Amino acid sequence: MKYLVMLLICIVSCFPCVNAQSAEVEQMYGKAIHYHYTNKDSAYYYYKNTISLADKKNELEYVLSAYLYLMNANGYYYDLKNYQKNLKKEDSLLRHDARFKSLTNINYYKDYLLFDKGNYHYKIKDYTTSKTHFQELFTKLNKIPENKRTRNDLSTLSSLYSFLGVIYKHTGKYELAEYNLKKEMEFVTISKDSIEEWESSIMNSKKLLSQVYEDKKDFKAANLLLTEALSFYKSKIKDPSYKNRILSTYLLLAKNYIQQNEFQLAIETLNESARFYSEDNPFSREVDLIYGDAYLGLKNYSKAVDYYRDGLSKIKKYREYQKHQDIAIGYAKLGNVFIKQQKISEGLEHYQMALIQLEKKFDDLNYNSNPNPEKALSKKVLVTILREKQNALFEAYTITKNIEYLKKANKTSKAIIKTLDVLRPEFESKLDKEFLVNETYPSIQTMVRISYELYKKSNDSRYIDDAFYFMEKSKSIALLEAHRNAEATKYGNIPNQIISEEQIYRAKIAHLDEEIFNSNLKEKSVFVDSLFATKKKYYEYIAKIEQDFPKYYGLKYKSSVISAAELKGELKANQSVFSYLVTEDAIYLTVLAKNKDAFYKFKFNETLKNTISDFYRQLSKPNIDDRTAYSKNSHLIYNAILKPALQNSKTTDIVILADDVLNYIPFDVLQTDVNNQQSYLLSKYSISYASSATLLQEQNKTKVKGRNKLMVFAPHFNETISEKKGNAERFDMSPLVYNGEEAKNISAYFKGSIYDGKRASIANFKNDLSGFNLIHFATHASANDEFPDYSYLAFEDIDESSNLLYVKDLYNYQIDADMVTLSACQTGFGKLQKGEGMLSLARGFNYAGVPSIVTTLWKINDRSTSEIMKSFYKNLSDGLSKKEALRQAKLSYLNANDDALLRHPYYWSGIVITGNTMPLNNTSYVLWVILALGGLLFLWLVYKKLFKLIK
């Protein structure tokens, strides 16, 4: 074991010359080491005797070293009870026994004790405490200058990288996990001349990295790493210290095969491992569970049950019959196999027993009851088992048609949401939060499905409310968190100095991220190291703020979403909110109106998917030879996802909360009549979009500025110096013929400034934006599907600095504007992500705090856009709501063009509005009414006075 080798180096270098007095102790010590890997009882016996004898003879080095080796043996044999006892004993010696304070090498032993504390807590899965100990030691050793680090320091740092990496993996911080494990391999490669068994260290990290890839569903990458590690370990099979590493790699490989449904291959892998070590396998309890998983996959239920029961029995004994997450997992596996056999009662009983293991004071066998996530031993395991219980209850309903199972499933759904709310603050990076959403999204889909079945069975509108609630919990989570983080920063009583420091961290992270994106392979590693070091400091800094300022924490992690009742209370008589959720085979729609709700389930198959895909292509790239090709698909989609909801509805104002591929559809171009292009929804309905109803509610609270002031950017691009830079990113920066005209036209309706030519720079945007509440970009843009954070908006190229504003840059902006119009190509288009929608430029401005955004879904036409924008801003100046202003602008464009080609939806339907759609001057009419009433009152008073005088 690498740690033991490291320890030997330390002891050999630290021990003074052994005199004759130590011969007996040395002999006892040698026997203990001889049995270390081969005979647990003998090793324990001789280590304890060494400690006792060395203590009597005052051989203090031997006392401490024997304890370290004994604890290493405790860890090797997974004897955690004795591990804990010995930790306390050595800790007590170092703290309270005055004899040890005089030892020259006392700090070595203190460091190893810290390492052992981290290792022990890691093994009992107390990752928070484990990380604290490991991080403390890492920080201490990392401060030692590189040229002064000993071989022992290097070996210890190598181990710490591995441990921290796997702890991050277990706590869902996959970005940091992958970084630390790759860093360990790089560190060992550089220091291999000073690290014993350096190849073994690298293979260990590859094995650990495979688990990160497995969690991220990259099974091919995981397989390659595990196969390589296993081959290396088997070449060391004669060395007993490699036993555990060989066995654990076999287990990981078998689990990986199960994930890929290669069940027979998993069994063969386990059988092969047993041939090496058939007896005294410290992983035997885990082996039983993996065998059970493989036989379950093969539908050999009786064998699966036998293996699960054996494994559960061993885990209980190992955990001394105390509640533990490993016991919970064993019960859950049994519950799953019973449900597969349609043994419903047995299955649900085992799931409830699994949940009981996750909270010390929770013992309720009632299926309606669930543990308190705040007190759960592992919130991640709790979420997993609740999801399995939810699926089991739904399966029970499918088999029996008993609605009570559905009701229990619905209650379990709410328990999952509650647990996710508690768990979410523990996921720090954006990537990790995205991973959490992807992992939990299928459960949200099941929740909505359960709600729909309950609604159809009972006709109870409460289940519409539930479905809407579950949908809200799945929509634009990261965006809502960003908005609440901004609110927490404003109102969390945090001193400005702390806010400034936090912004500096974020700016540095964004800068390093961009450097990595644009750097070559040679430069990249330096930037990556700097980025992750900065991120770690940033996460620690944020954690301290959250601890020191509870109000900030409460606002930032506020988990509530708007309820159906609350939303309906805010709607006008003619308004409706259409919230969609797309699953593999169905599209669910909740419709909320002032006095009426509805819940629909539509079929979603490959035909409809292809229809939507074809429709988007027909709109974004029109066929001149067939100018009506889109009409058929337009009508098909209308029938498939909207018709039932609009029939018998009096609504004229619709907010669409789209999901998945529905984000590609401009709803106002859908046709109610396939043969009539005048039957666009545009003709009857005012349509806007929102990321979620909760975020929309927050955006609608934004106070409209008392005075409108317009900032317009219209770069020329014909005076660019980008060719001198030779930057390949600027693939299409040709002049925009009509953007200057567009800028002048819209400026006629609002006071402000046009930033054209060299004035249209990023620097001017940053410096001047606070003086404007309306911002308009008539420029080039590009959507980056592979790296959405690097979609960009182009400014004038005026110097050696970049003229591109990336989405990721906007994460660090605070833009206090009422509306931003992105009159550029594909600003509302981007990569689809579950639970977040379209990762586009528009979303970047949402992050920056802009409540209302006008965007485009494809590469728009410069001339037609200029015409529509002119009408749009005129309508805004007349006091129309933003969505109605855009609708009327589109209708005006259609009415003004007789040419069938120019009337094609490509020219007008790709412009959409998201978020707050209230009028910019929403107090103007009220003010006029007040003035008019005031005038009448004044005239009446004058009349009354004159009447008295005359009288």
Cα 804–Cα 791–Cα 623 angle in degrees, nearest 5:
115
Neighbours of 551 (CB within 10 A): 12
Kind and range of the H or E run holding 233: helix 219-234
Residue 837 β-bridge partners: 833
Compute φ and ψ for 587, nearest 5 degrees: -120, 125
Q: What is the pLDDT of residue 197?
A: 84
What is the pTM for the complete model shown?
0.76
Position 18: which residue type?
V
Low-confidence ranges of the chain (pLDDT < 70): 1-21, 277-280, 426-438, 476-492, 514, 517-524, 552-558, 624, 703-706, 718-733, 786, 799-801, 824-840, 922-951
Burial class (CB in 10 A: 0-12, 13-18, 19+), 412: buried
Kind and range of the H or E run holding 423: helix 403-423
How far apart are the C-alpha atoms of 241 and 38, rounded to whole Å? 9
* Helices 198-215 and 2-14, packing angle to 10 deg: 140
Cβ atoms of 704 and 922 within 8 Å: the answer is yes
Position 449: which residue type?
R
- What's the residue count for the chain? 951
Distances (CA, A) of 153 to 26, 101, 197: 26, 22, 15
Give pairs for 401-404: CB < 8 Å, separation 24+.
403/454, 403/457, 403/458
Neighbours of 676 (CB within 10 A): 11
Cβ atoms of 198 and 151 within 8 Å: the answer is no
How far apart are the C-alpha atoms of 189 and 206, rounded to whole Å? 13
Position 739: which residue type?
N
Q: What is the pLDDT of residue 20?
A: 38
How far apart are the C-alpha atoms of 841 and 829, rounded to whole Å? 8
Residue 575 β-bridge partners: 653
| Sign of CA pseudo-dihedral 325, 331, 335, 336 | positive
Residue 782 β-bridge partners: 792
Cβ atoms of 308 and 289 within 8 Å: the answer is yes
Compute φ and ψ for 213, nearest 5 degrees: -65, -35
Neighbours of 196 (CB within 10 A): 16
Q: Which structure tokens are listed for 13? A: 């270098």
Distances (CA, A) of 705 to 217, 561, 774, 870: 48, 27, 10, 22
Q: Under 8 Å CB-to-CB from 508, ≥6 apart: which residues?
A: 534
Q: What is the pLDDT of residue 945?
A: 61
Position 946: which residue type?
L
How far apart are the C-alpha atoms of 623 and 618, rounded to whole Å? 7
The pLDDT tens digits for 104-134 are 888 888 888 999 999 989 888 888 889 889 9
Cβ atoms of 545 and 552 within 8 Å: the answer is yes
